Structure 1
């Protein structure tokens, strides 16, 4: 059957289709190369051994692992988190395993947003050669919850910790890096900030803010020799995710941090998003597939609906568990 379209139009449409498919294939090959083949920028680019790394949310999970791995690479560590006993134990662990490494600690509750805490942090880092800042401190909902049922304190704490705390720490550290004309700022984001997440709406919004802020900050600081990288991830086995068992889709903090530090300057699965990396291989492939293949991309109704169903199920199980625990306590 002959085409009802003129031959030149048919040829033009075929060329457009081939160009579109070719671009997707090329983009996918870039993802594979970024995740599996190409090395990241060496950390020594941002400061030599003996310079300092500041890590927030440092006492557990991903933050603790950043401290352990950066100390092994010869960086002195400023540990900032809520619980002094955990900070002291981690500081002892770092210096015990790495004789040349120095540590400083500051116990502060980011949810309280005390000016005195930030003044103390400013004093603590004054005069230090700071090479790396890891903005890791974060807070999520205790369980998935509809926004209209979210308690005011939980809502405010999430915004204060994830957004305000990160901004205030960065405003203290970034000027030091700009003056030195080198430095690395890593900010932990989340798929919740890329793909809107019903029942985690406030958390999702806070991480979306960090994504946009981090990208803008990267463009601002690049001329000063300071590299900014927003680190994207799906689930990592940690206290925040409440997942203990690791898998290909859920790496341990150790594996995830090793990937993140090894892929500085590489986008991984975050192709096309400036100053951003999704370094863990399965997260990167998942992000690419959803963004490029799901109808409507990241805002597609399929992705949104799956996110909603998953967190409704998690909420239902959490409420049932709380009910059982309450009965046991009677």
Structure 2
């Protein structure tokens, strides 16, 4: 008599559970995608007026060029007085004059080199901040490597400057401002981060690590200050036309500072492409979608890391060839 194969009584339920998990996983990814789309294009961010009235102050670091300059201009256009802090007094004076004449708001300036980490400079800033109703802090000052470089070959001074400017300066300025925000039970601390802090970036290792630090610090600070009515928001960005990126021509993927800052200020509190990253937004759509993909497709991160390394190795080779050509021309 032919023997029948025994039936596993657990096979069907196990298969059903696996299918259910698969459907749930895919459904969550689809929900996350459409949540990102809604955040980018349909749901507005918090109004800046919730952080402070017109006539209160915004402090912008790295204010004389690029994104910092654009933050100052757009905040002034919305009625905020601006305290401009950057390295070059002449640039600050020009920007302050332009803002005052165009937007009829008050301006103050302080020239300080954040790389110097000079206590006297911070004392001057503390004196300025003490008597101002600061509603918004834009932690924009930052420094990257001059060209992509292996960590072992990174000049010691470049390492120190990147950590001092990106990390220590951000902490010290924020610590000067937070007591006033807490006492007034309102305000916004906005810090500029980078994709390099989300996805480790070979040949920009020190810069990448400094931006990852800002991500963790900002998220923790957000939880601390939430009970006091103070909003902490970290902005993730890719390339923008600026002196730091060394890109002069805008494109679909690379916006101008004006385009990018407009997207940021219109989406405070919205996550955009930074789904699942607390207190963080990626507001510009051509930056947001790639970030979302990297975050959601975790198994692909090893591949992306290799591509990232190859890209920066190529950039380094081209930069070194250009430096060699310039050296020959000079001689």
Q: TM-score range by the shorter chain?
A: over 0.9
User: What is the number of equivalent residue pairs in this alignment?
Assistant: 325
TM superposition shift of 1:4: 11
Q: Are residue 128 (structure 1) and residue 129 (structure 2) matched?
A: no
Question: 1:55 corresponds to which residue?
Answer: 60
Match of 2:175 among 157, 171, 174: 171
5+ residue gaps, structure 2, are: 1-6
Give SS of 1:243's match. coil
- Given candidates 59, 73, 79, the residue that maps to 1:68 is 73
Shift, 1:274, TM fit: 0.8
CA distance in 2, matches of 1:190, 1:322: 27
SS at match of 1:218: helix
Deviations 1:85-134 (A, max 9, x none): 000000011011112x0000000000000000000000112111111000
Structure 2: distance between partners of 1:233 and 1:302: 21
Please give the residue correspondences for 1:159-238 in structure 2 after superposition, counting only pairs within 5 Å.
159-238=163-242
Matched residue, 2:3? none
Q: Which structure has the bigger radius of gyration?
A: 2
> Map of 1:81-160 to 2, 5 A cutoff?
81-99=86-104, 101-160=105-164
RMSD of the alignment, in Å? Answer: 1.3
Q: 1:317 to 1:106 in 2, by over 3 A?
A: same
| TM, length-normalised to structure 2 | 0.96
Aligned to 1:33: 38
Whether 1:287 aligns to 2:276 is no
Partner of 1:46: 51
Q: How does 1:6-21 map to 2 (within 5 A)?
A: 6-21=11-26
**Deviation sequence 1:132-186 (CA, Å, 0-9, x none):** 0000000000000000000000000000000000000000001110011000000
User: Match for residue 302 of structure 1?
Assistant: 303
How far is the alpha carbon of 1:294 from its aligned partner? 4.9
Deviation, 1:303, is 1.1
For the residue of structure 1 that corresponds to 2:136, the secondary structure is strand
What is the SS of the residue equivalent to 2:188?
A: strand
Deviation, structure 1 residue 6:
2.0
Say yes or no: does 1:322 pair with 2:326.
Answer: no
Q: Could you list the runs of 5+ residues in structure 1 that have no partner in the other structure?
A: none
Question: Residue 5 of structure 1: CA displacement?
Answer: 7.5
Picking from 222, 245, 250, the partner of 1:246 is 250
**1:3 Cα deviation from its structure 2 partner:** 11
CA distance in 2: counterparts of 1:84 and 1:318, whole angstroms: 31
**1:263 partnered with 2:264:** no
Q: Could you tell me how far apart the structure 1 residues matched to 2:163 and 2:308 are?
A: 21
Query: C-alpha displacement at 1:293, in angstroms?
Result: 2.4
Q: What secondary structure is seen at the aligned counterpart in 1 of 2:299?
A: coil
Q: CA deviation at 1:29?
A: 0.8
SS of the residue aligned with 2:189?
A: strand
- TM-score norm. by structure 1 comes to 0.97
- The SS at the match of 1:295 is helix
Give 1:75 deviation, angstroms: 0.2
Structure 1 distance, partners of 2:8, 2:154, is 58
Deviations for 1:13-37, whole angstroms, at most 9, x for unmatched residues? 1111111111110111111111111
1:245, distance to aligned residue in structure 2 (A) = 1.1
Distance 1:275 1:16 in 2: 28
